[in-house]
Amino acid sequence: MRHYNIPVFIPELACPNRCIYCNQRHISGQLEPVSTDQVVSIIEQHLETFCQPCEVELAFFGGSFTGIEIELQELYLKTVQPYIEQGLIEGIRLSTRPDYINAEILNLLKRYNVKTIELGAQSLCDEVLEFCERGHSVKDVENASRLIKSYGFELGLQMMIGLPLDSIKRSVETANKIVELGADNTRIYPTLVIPNTKLAELYKDGLYQPLDMETAVKWSAEVYKVFAKAGVKILRVGLHPSEGLIKGTDMIAGPFHVSFRELVLSRLWLDYLVSLPEDVIEVVVNPKDINYAIGYKSSNLNALKQIGRKITFIQDSNRAVNIFR
């Protein structure tokens, strides 16, 4: 059955501070928070486009949902309930800060059919969090995660790679800690330099250098493997390609690519293919993975050719290899 999300962005409505890399209005392309009438309009417009049968979730993203006034939280949540009661929307997911989670909040969310809570962990290294002015600690992430799981919510933990003071070792450690905390899903975001942020000032002063594309793909591939082997669902790799990011007007520097996830999966497949014994000339691939096996713009086929290897791909979902075993 098809699954759809109806995204509703509420940028920076409740954030107590601005992290050095963050400008949600640039990233989301949305300048003002939505009204409840706009929420209804967004829902109606999306529902008209969905193919049936399907499962639909309403997703409140972009800000710190559980940090806004309780009355406003409840107003947003109540707006969605008629669609849940009619069976048009299955439930609600939302993103928030780890330091905006407590028992009162979770009881409210439970009452209004919230199914998934995603925390912007970003890093599970206190040194990185402090430098980036996140305003919370690793302990806050751990405590919030355990509380969310104890209430029966699905837990999402988002992470970023390439933040100041980050390293591939620290990124992999963050991924492993996310697994240990029992995350059901995750998102992997390479750090971009966005206009009107402290990170942009550091970049212009030569005090911060974002990852180049090749390095970002390599780091993302390493953390992707951690999640895939642990069975953590990877919802997104790379930022959503907004019009501003595609045109380059909403970023100054950094590893943005509209097909970033495909680049990462192509890299993972190439690593697997070159590790095979030289007498292996056929690999059974799930049809949904064939583009990754071939590589972005046939990059894997070309790389294999350069080292004198030729592998034939056989598409069969029943016998397909699992490259993460």
Using one digit for the tens of pLDDT, what is the confidence trace for 2-40?
899 999 988 666 566 678 998 765 454 455 678 999 999
Gap between the Cα atoms of 33 and 31, Å rounded: 7
What's the confidence (pLDDT) of residue 130? Answer: 96
Say how far residue 107 (Cα) sits from the centre of its chain.
26
Gap between the Cα atoms of 15 and 19, Å rounded: 9
Every domain range in the chain assigned CATH 3.20.20.70: 2-256
Among 128, 111, 113, 116, which residue's Cα sits nearest to residue 167? 128
State pLDDT tens for residues 177-222.
999 999 999 999 999 999 999 999 999 999 999 999 999 999 999 9
Count Cβ atoms below 10 Å from residue 244 Cβ, excluding itself.
17
Among 165, 178, 160, 158, which residue's Cα sits nearest to residue 130? 165
For the domain spanning 2-256, the CATH number is 3.20.20.70
Gap between the Cα atoms of 225 and 237, Å rounded: 12
Task: Give the Å distances, CA to CA, from 42 to 36, 112, 117, 245.
Answer: 10, 19, 21, 22
Gap between the Cα atoms of 62 and 45, Å rounded: 20
pTM: 0.93
